[in-house]
């Protein structure tokens, strides 16, 4: 396995972070667009149905918009990432919950 040069490793991390930010923005915009479309349909249907179904219908609209945007987002990801080698452009981001302790520094402070 080849080692990645440091410049390309940083670029891969930056690509990963930018992809995550762009994907989050796309997901939020997609959810808002699907909710707006379903809400428009619901309001037009609600004019004929009556006011007693407004709250359950609004809850159903919210739930359906979340589910529909999830499936559309997954399809978009498959289309975008299916044609590219992910390992070539992206690098996993590792988060450390506990910082490693340097015993030499702690020994000097005592």
- Residue with the bigger pLDDT between 36 and 15: it is 36
**CA nearest to 74, candidates 12, 30, 17, 9:** 30
Q: Report pLDDT for 72.
A: 92
Express each pLDDT in 70-94 by its tens digit.
999 999 888 888 877 777 777 777 7
Q: Report pLDDT for 2.
A: 57
Please check whether residue 40 is in contact with residue 2, taking contact to mean a CB–CB distance below 8 angstroms: no
Is residue 32's pLDDT more than 90?
yes
- Give the number of other CB atoms < 10 A from CB of residue 35: 18
- Give the number of other CB atoms < 10 A from CB of residue 52: 8
Q: Report pLDDT for 87.
A: 73
CA distance 86 to 80: 10
């Amino acid at each position: 396995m080849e080692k990645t040069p440091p410049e390309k490793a940083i670029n891969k991390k930056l690509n990963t972070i930018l992809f995550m930010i762009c994907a989050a923005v796309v997901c939020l915009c997609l959810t808002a667009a699907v909710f707006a479309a379903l809400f428009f349909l619901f309001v037009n249907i609600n004019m004929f149905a009556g006011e007693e179904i407004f709250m359950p219908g609004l809850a159903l609209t919210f739930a359906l918009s979340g589910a529909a945007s999830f499936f559309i987002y997954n399809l978009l990801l498959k289309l975008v990432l299916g044609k590219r080698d992910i390992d070539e452009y992206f690098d996993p981001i590792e988060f450390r919950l506990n910082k490693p302790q340097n015993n030499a520094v702690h020994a000097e402070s005592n």
